[in-house]
Amino acid sequence: MKFSAMAVSALLSFFLIGPACFAQASDEEQQARLKEIKQRIDSLQRELNQVKSERDQLLKDLEDNEKDISELLQRIDKIKTDMQSRGEKLQELKQEEKQLEESRRSMQRRVEQEVAAAYRLGRQEQIKLLLNQQDPQHIARQLRYHDYFLKQRNRVIGDYVTTLEELSTVSSGIQREQDTLARERDQLEQQRRALTSAQKNRQRTLDKLAQQLASKSSELDKLHGDRSRLQRLVDEVGRAIASLINPSDQTPFAKQRGRMQWPAQGRRANAFGQRRANGITWTGVTLRANAGSPVKAIHRGRVVFADYLRGQGMLVILDHGDGYMSLYGQNQSLTRAIGEWVERGDTIARVGNTGGAAESGLYFEIRHRGKPQDPTVWCT
Q: How many CA atoms lie within 13 A of 284 on its CB side?
A: 24
Q: Select from 295, 269, 299 the least CA-distant residue to 284.
A: 269
pLDDT-derived band of residue 145, with 50, 70 and 90 as boundaries? low
Least confident of 71-75, 316-320, 322-326: 71-75
Query: What is the CA 247 to chain-centroid distance, rounded?
Result: 25
Helix residue ranges, H only, the chain? 5-15, 27-48, 54-121, 125-132, 136-212, 216-240, 375-378
For residues 328 and 51, the answer to whether their CB atoms sit within 8 Å is no
Residue 1: per-residue pLDDT: 41
Q: What is the CA radius of gyration of the chain?
A: 34
Residue 124: per-residue pLDDT: 46
For residues 237 and 305, the answer to whether their CB atoms sit within 8 Å is yes
Query: What is the CA 2 to chain-centroid distance, rounded?
Result: 22
Residue 268: per-residue pLDDT: 93
Q: Give the DSSP letter of residue 269.
A: -
User: Looking at the whole model, is its pTM more than 0.85?
Assistant: no
Residue 53: per-residue pLDDT: 53
Residue 103: per-residue pLDDT: 75
Instruction: Determine the Cα–Cα distance for residues 274 and 263; give it in Å rounded to an integer.
Output: 20
pLDDT in tens, 275-284: 876 678 899 9
